[in-house]
Amino acid sequence: MSCNQAGLKEKICAVLKNKKEGITTIQIAKEVGCKTAKDINKVLYSLKDEGCLYKIQDTPPIWSLNSPERSRPPEVRLDHTKDDVRSLLTSKGGGTGVKSSHIARELGQPKKVVTKILYDLQRMGQAEKLGENVWKMNAEAVTDVEAVTNAEAVTDAEAVTNAEAVTNAEANFRGKPIQFKSDYQDISIRLTENSRFSKDFELLSVLGAGGFGCVTKARHREDGKEYAVKIVKWTSVASREVKALADLEHPNIVRYYTTWREEAHWEDRSDCSAKSSVQSDITKDSEDEGDGSTYETDQSDGSDSDLSEKDQANLSATDSSSRNGDWLCLFIQMEFCEGGTLTTWIHKNRRTKDKAHEIFQQLVQGVDNIHSKKLIHRDLKPDNILFGSEGIVKIGDFGLVTTFNTGTGESMYRTVDKGTPLYMSPEQAIEKRYNKKTDIFSLAMIFFELLWNMSTEMEKHVVFQDLRKQICPNDFCKEYNPEWKLIRKMLEENPASRPDTKQIAEHLKLLRGSLNRPCQATV
């Protein structure tokens, strides 16, 4: 439901009266009870034109009733403070973690600044949120602390490290830029003249982009084949994705070929204030369509009970200036899936029970292979499910993959709220202990979507909220009663009560038998 225009100006002014230092568009939207940023932006700029309020910061926009001279907060050197936060987490975090308020007191910095830094470190895989306001250093990041010493410009040990070379960055990055533009994004990645990517590949298109990477469609100059090449800033999280891909070889998983590192110069001129995390927190999930692979911007952690901290994370996510500069990047060469995403397939094809079963069975086989390698995908959704050249289902985007290899099969402590809210299991959204059964919940949501047509995003949002509580439309229960019995089991609140992938596969065989035809391998 969008905000009514009538009275919105008065509400905004009333909110800003109590926020002398100003607040972001996201915070204003939540304060006045809106679920879209579009209406807020229009009214804010209207008030600005009328001289009723001021935009005291551009990226991200911060609004105040006071003039910039009276409202502008003092500048803080984030690069210096970020090193202090990292050092404090390493020395005092231990297994129990440190509260963000304690870090702020220790460093003598505002909590907003410390919170922003913590979420920056989390997105780079260096920090982990254990619970409400409690943080610790990521175990992998602690061992790599010497390799990643500057979150603003991660560089290779043999690459440019002195201020003079950084000043002359433009002279080093003379290669043809990789550019991606959309309504909300304007990203340019300039490569070096000796770039391996430029030498070995012909860039055909950019399939999608996010705050920390993009996916390109490129033709190899030697073999003439087309590949998806994912370019991401090097972090421990990116390295984890590569290790997972290298260990997975299955017909229903996007094939990994190789990876390499090289430097690139990033310029992000995106105006993320109207979209960014407002899309996931205030409205609905974004569903970017691509024809080969997808890359989603990172979701922010946080809890509704700590609004100021979550808003600060959103502010950090939209601060494109902090992502600009020279970065050491990973180039990940993968299979190009020309059949597009499951999202596109759902929107463009007439679904039948046969097709739904064919697709879902292949999806379950792929997830079974992932789990057999002691891995959890954590972000299964139609955007991350692709189709190969012969219509074979391929699971992609392992950016949130993690291990569950504890030796005992027990659940592990993990970062909460990582994934896509509509498809995410309850334990993954609110708890820090979960296991591979979190993927089963996501599979259930996808199986339902394969079977049931929802004509609008609003209808989907309403139906999915009920479905998460094991409530389905009456007509679905009647038409797909055998499938609903399986889906309902997969949606059990207690993860231990959900079937595993092998049990689901057996159940699907029984359901396929009732259709009196063999299962096809492709769609």
| Separation CA 246–CA 244 (nearest Å) | 5
Do 92 and 121 fall into the same domain?
yes
> Between residues 429 and 505, which one has the greater pLDDT?
505
Is the same domain home to 501 and 365?
yes
The single residue listed with the structure tokens 């889906």 is: 487
In-domain check, residue 103: yes
Residue 162: is its pLDDT beyond 90? no
| Residue 463 to residues 37, 150, 448, 460, Cα–Cα distance (Å) | 23, 45, 10, 5
Q: What is the mean pLDDT of residues 191-205?
A: 91
Within this chain, do residues 94 and 29 fall inside the same structural domain, yes or no?
no
Q: Given this model, what pLDDT does residue 517 score? A: 53
What is the per-residue pLDDT across 94-141, written as a single tens digit (0 to 9) for each? 667 888 888 888 777 788 888 888 887 877 778 888 777 788 887 655
Least confident span in 25-29, 202-206, 385-389: 25-29
* Residue 306 pLDDT: 33
Residue 303 lies in a domain: no
Residue 490 resides in a domain: yes
- pLDDT at site 59: 62
Share of the chain above pLDDT 70, in %: 69
pLDDT of residue 66: 80
Type of residue numbered 156: D
The CATH number for 354's domain is: 1.10.510.10
53-67, 240-254, 345-359, 478-492: range with lowest mean pLDDT: 53-67
Residue 235 is part of a domain; what is its CATH number? 3.30.200.20
Least confident of 180-189, 469-478, 497-506: 180-189
Would you call the peptide bond into 68 cis, given omega within 30 degrees of 0 as the criterion? no
Tokens of residue 6, six digits:
């009538």
Do the Cβ atoms of 392 and 251 come closer than 8 Å?
Answer: yes
Q: What are phi and psi of 326, to 5 degrees?
A: -90, 125
Torsion of CA 486, 412, 115, 308, to 10 degrees: 40
Q: How many domains does the chain have?
A: 4
Q: Give, in order, the Cα–Cα distances in Å from 522 to each of 359, 394, 429.
A: 8, 11, 33
CA 280 to chain centre: 10
Q: pLDDT for 339-396, tens place per residue?
A: 989 999 998 877 889 999 999 999 999 999 999 988 888 889 999 999 998 889 999 8
Burial class, 314, CB count within 10 angstroms (exposed 0-12 / middle 13-18 / buried 19+): buried
Same domain, 505 and 365: yes
Enumerate residues 6+ apart whose C-beta is below 8 A from 90.
137, 142, 145
Q: Which domain holds residue 14?
A: 5-64
What's the rounded mean pLDDT across residues 194-199?
A: 92
Q: How many CA atoms lie within 13 A of 133 on its CB side?
A: 14
Across 31-45, 74-88, 240-254, 353-367, the highest mean pLDDT is recorded for 353-367
pLDDT at position 246 is: 86
Residue 163: pLDDT band with limits 50, 70, 90: very low
Answer whether residue 416 shows pLDDT above 60: no
Q: 291, 307, 335 — which closes off a domain?
A: 335
111 and 232 fall within a common domain: no
pLDDT of residue 321: 47
Element (H, E) at 466: helix 457-467
Q: Which of 278, 313, 335 is the last residue of a domain?
A: 335
Q: What mean pLDDT comes out for the span 495-503?
A: 95
| pLDDT for 333 beyond 60 | yes
DSSP-derived 3-state class of residue 401: coil
364 and 449 inside one domain: yes
Check whether 301 has a pLDDT greater than 50.
no
Strand partners, 131: 134
Mean pLDDT of 390-414: 64
Q: Which residue has the higher pLDDT, 158 or 296?
A: 158
User: What mean pLDDT value characterizes the chain?
Assistant: 75
Q: Which of 14-18, 28-32, 157-161, 418-422 has the lowest mean pLDDT?
A: 157-161
Is residue 503 predicted with pLDDT exceeding 80?
Answer: yes
User: Are 384 and 490 in the same domain?
Assistant: yes
Query: The dihedral of CA 41, 46, 47, 51: what is its sign?
Result: positive
Answer whether residue 380 is part of any domain.
Answer: yes
Same domain, 396 and 492: yes
* Residue 285 falls inside a structural domain: no
Q: Which residues pair with 331 in a beta bridge?
A: 231, 260
Given a contact cutoff of 8 angstroms between Cβ atoms, the answer to whether 34 and 43 are in contact is no
Report, as an integer, the average pLDDT of 171-186: 65
| 143 in any annotated domain | no
| Confidence grade of residue 473 (pLDDT, cut at 50, 70, 90) | very high
Is residue 423 in a domain? yes
pLDDT band at 452, cuts 50/70/90?
A: very high
**Residue 432: pLDDT band with limits 50, 70, 90:** low
In angstroms, the CA 60 to CA 63 distance is 10
State whether 383 and 468 are in the same domain. Answer: yes
Distance in angstroms (rounded) separating the CA atoms of residues 155 and 52: 45
Res 266 pLDDT > 50: yes
Q: Is the pLDDT of residue 293 over 80?
A: no
Per-residue pLDDT, averaged over 292-305, amounts to: 34
What's the rounded Cα separation, in Å, for the pair 85 and 106?
9
Residues marked active site are found at 379
What is the reported pLDDT for 448? 97
265: its two tokens: 């110069």
Q: How confident is the model at residue 48 (pLDDT cuts 50, 70, 90)?
A: confident
What the block records as the tokens of 247 is 């260990």
Q: Could you tell me the CATH number of the domain that includes residue 125? A: 1.10.10.10
**Residue 71 reports pLDDT greater than 50:** no
Picking from 320, 335, 350, the residue at the C-terminal end of a domain is 335
Whether residue 503 is found in the same domain as residue 436: yes
Kind and range of the H or E element at 397? Answer: none
Average pLDDT score over residue span 73-79? 49
Query: What span, in angstroms and rounded, lies between the C-alpha atoms of 363 and 447?
Result: 10
Give residue 147's pLDDT.
45
Whether 49 has a pLDDT exceeding 60, the answer reads yes
Q: Residue 41 pLDDT more than 50?
A: yes
Same domain, 92 and 41: no
The residue behind tokens 């949606």 is: 491
At residue 271 the predicted structure's pLDDT band, cuts being 50, 70 and 90, is low
Q: Which residues contact 32 (CB under 8 A, 6 or more apart)?
A: 3, 8, 11, 12, 15, 40
Q: Please, which pLDDT band fits residue 23 given cuts at 50, 70 and 90?
A: confident
Residues 54 and 119 in one domain: no
| Pick from 209-223, 227-241, 272-286: least confident | 272-286
Q: How confident is the model at residue 482 (pLDDT cuts 50, 70, 90)?
A: very high
39 within domain boundaries: yes
**Average of per-residue pLDDT across 391-419:** 60
CB of 228 closer than 8 Å to CB of 215: yes
